[in-house]
Amino acid sequence: MFLFIWKYQQKLMRKILIETLVLFIFLASGGQHCFSQSIIVDYSVKVDPPLFKKFDQYNAGCINPCSNYTRDLDKINELDAHSLRIDLSIGKPDGTFSNPEVVQGTPSSIKYDFRLLDDLVTKLNSRNVLPFWSWCYIPVPLQDGGDWKNLNEIISNWPELFKEIHKQYALHYKNAGLRIGFHEIGNEPDLFGVFLNQDDFNKRYFGMYKNGALGIKEGDPDAVVGGPAYAIGEFMPGAGNFLDYVQSNSLPLDFCSFHSYMDGTSWPGEMDGVANELDSRGFKTTDICIDEFSWLNTANGGNAGAQSAMNYYAAAAKTFETMNLILKRTDVTFINWAQFMESTFGDDPYGIIRKDGHRKAVFNAFKIYADMPVERNSMVISNRYINGWASSSAHKACLVIWNNGTTEQPISAILNNIVFPGGNFRLYRIDSTNASYFSGANENLEVVESQNNINTGSFTWSGKIPPKGVVYMVIDDNSGLKDFVPDQYNNFVAKDIRTIHYYPGRRKTYYAEFDRKRWTAYLGMGTDDNSHSQVGVEAESLPDDIEVSFVKDGMFKIIDKNSLCGLRIDYRVSGTYAKGVLFHGGIYSPDRNAAMVWGTKLQADEVHVINDSSYKIHFAYYAPADWDGRILISFIAQNLGANSRVKINLKTPKDITNIPPTQRVKKNDLLIYPNPSSDGMFHVESQSGMEDDEYTVTICDLPGRICYSCSLSLNEDNEINTNGILKDGIYLMSLAGKNRKPTIQKIIIQK
């Protein structure tokens, strides 16, 4: 512990000395000479907030033809987007999914056609991107006079019908084994002329939200549901006190959503207002989602069509600067950028992909952000026109800088203390001659400078950045990593059902995020000694074992009895969480009484001290007798001192040799072979006797979609023949018997 504190103090002193030296030289030179153009990065010092991958994408409902999604959807993987929000334009004649309409018929005979939507959901699921469906607007059977904005209240049972329609939305996908990440009730209800006054607004939209949200949850209790998707942030939570209505009617509100097209003055107030209102009403697990977000608005080129500022290379620097502002809002859970593809309605300038499929310069800004490691590093910039970020991992060190000024800036970047001893350097640019399609340049990021086998102890790059230009530098350790391929870092551990955040006080600087693609949690105290950082993930289709590792940074303190750095597993029995088990590395008090707002909602039933640098856990050992296979994993860092942070990574272990013998559980192992299979056929044998004659076999792909299912009798036939249905790839096979919990094994088909 003393060695850890001493190392941290050394890093802190080094950071202070560097910053002091740069400031002294800057002042001594009058801010005019070469040192005023310097950037000094220290990759041994972490800073907050991290570069969380919480910038997702959004599309308007008018993308025609729908085949544009097929053409462009692979590009979303370049951005590491976790979700794609679409306002589905239900009932709106010019919408993508209006021919055929998703909801058809009459109030007495409602019909559904999910074909177009199902195709898109399948494509998104296969890319591990969550569909974010905004179920708007008024479905045809409930419209007044064929108006997609007008609800026909003459239909006396419209609330029941509205609820049933939304139930069918959720039930359809649950039964189909397709994953919808988020269900949103409505879109921009505050703008529609139908809401003539406050009473009208309350009566119509509030009732629509109530019945829609209840219907979604009835169709799929695991569904994540929210709203109201107000167009004007200041209108939220005014307009009849939406949050009061939700609270008084005990309605689900997993996320609170609104739009913000930044005008530079009102948007911080919008976010403060939403955060304060949620806090004051005790919504401690409701996420804040800015479901449409952009710096482009009517005041700065939003109506300029092809001449819009979003089309040219300067948009990349502007987007980085905007992202830098919103990253400081650790209380905003995720943001959907407006928008991914240009809509085909009118002369729309908002997309980062042109109507013809070409990437714009701003697309490459998101691509760079996706490529950068999450953990951010210290940097000192002495040029007031330059801004940027540095971040690193065990195999990669990155630096992006952009020029906010109107003149070219000479820069000298000094990169210190990269964690690996040598590597390869590459540099990319976004400017009038690089990575900017509208400017006549190649649309893709290309290497414009490179050096191999450099000494990474201290590396310096000198060059110039044109006005509004971007420079991106990458140094890797020659381990074979590719630039701009975020999927190479994916780490599938189990099927995640949903992520839950805890917000005991939103306007602080603490953070707690879980990356569902990498199964890594990031927790930080921010600038407060006393902060409660906690995030959880519900999961099933689990491996037998997981390996847990903690990477801590900062001077950890024990502030009080609730100081804790640990991981907790809650086990579900018959739909209710019944047992909680806490693992920690030494910072814990048996007198702990901090609130537990999910799982059993009680203090842990069992507490275990572990070697938190790396530890393997066998799930079944701690499970109650009737465990139904689902768990809720909570990552907790509380009251550990300012500027303390921890990264917790989960992965499937390569072996079980260092699982404590007391955890090893004798079970009826089933042997599945050949694995890999060249023809999609597998044999199953019991290695310790058959307690069940009949087994249910379910095969899922890595995102959790059911690809094949059958029944298996080990008394008659022990062969599973997938009949050529499954393509080459990695899958999870579940075998469940009447008298045993499911066995999950990874299988590979390799023809």
Q: What is the 3-state secondary structure (H, E, C) of 259-303?
A: EEECCCCCHHHHHHHHHHHHHHCCCCCCEEEEEEEECCCHHHCCC
In terms of residue numbers, what domain contains 611? 495-663
Last residue of a domain, one of 488, 513, 544: 488
Tokens found for residue 413: 């970047």
SS3 94: coil
Block means of pLDDT (10 residues each) for the chain, 751 residues, are 41 51 44 60 97 95 84 95 96 88 97 95 94 96 92 95 98 95 93 58 85 98 96 58 92 95 74 89 96 84 71 95 93 94 77 93 98 98 95 97 96 95 96 95 97 91 97 95 94 95 93 97 96 97 94 95 98 97 95 97 95 91 94 98 97 65 52 82 72 75 75 78 83 74 74 71
Q: Tell me the C-alpha distance between 605 and 602, whole Å.
A: 8
DSSP 8-state symbol, 133: E
Same domain, 139 and 91: yes
d(CA 295, CA 218): 38
Please identify, among 371, 392, 417, the residue that sits at the C-terminal boundary of a domain: 371
CA distances, 742 to each of 2, 20, 545, 699, 745 (Å): 46, 60, 14, 12, 10
Both tokens of 634, joined, read 């909570």
What the block records as the tokens of 444 is: 């893709």
* Co-location of 714 and 654 in the same domain: no
pLDDT on residue 481: 92
pLDDT of residue 703: 60
- Position 78 scores a pLDDT of 96
Are residues 515 and 625 both part of a single domain?
yes
Q: What is the CATH number of the domain that holds 33?
A: 2.60.40.1180
The structure tokens listed for 409 are 């800036």
Residues 645 and 737 in one domain: no
Domain count across the chain:
4
Residues 211 and 163 sit within 8 Å (Cβ to Cβ): yes
pLDDT given at position 650: 97
The answer to whether residues 631 and 598 touch, using CB atoms and an 8 Å cutoff, is no
Whether 504 and 356 share a structural domain: no
Q: Report the CATH number that the domain containing residue 534 is assigned in CATH.
A: 2.60.120
pLDDT of residue 619: 95
Other CB atoms closer than 10 Å to residue 1's CB: what's the count? Answer: 7
CB atoms within 10 A of CB 549: 15
Instruction: Supply the pLDDT for residue 621.
Output: 93
Phi, psi of 145 (to 5 degrees): 65, 30
Note whether 628 and 732 are same-domain residues.
Answer: no
In this structure, the answer to whether residues 531 and 455 fall within a common structural domain is no
Same-domain check for residues 334 and 467: no
Choose the final residue of a domain: 371, 387, 411.
371
**209 & 346 share domain:** yes
Q: 207-219 and 158-176 are packed helices; what angle lies between their axes, rounded to 10 degrees?
A: 30
pLDDT at 704: 63
Q: Can you give the pLDDT at residue 240?
A: 46
CB contact set of 20 (below 8 Å; sequence gap of 6+): none
- Answer yes or no: do 103 and 40 share one domain: no
CATH code for position 312: 3.20.20.80
> CA–CA separation, 575 vs 578, rounded Å?
9
- What CATH number has the domain bearing residue 707? 2.60.40.3080
Same domain for 139 and 259: yes
Handedness of CA 420, 425, 431, 434 (dihedral sign): negative
pLDDT computed for residue 264 by the predictor: 60
At residue 8, the pLDDT reads 44
* Domain identity same for 203 and 292: yes
Strand partners, 413: 39, 461
- How far is Cα 132 from Cα 182, in angstroms, rounded to an integer? 5
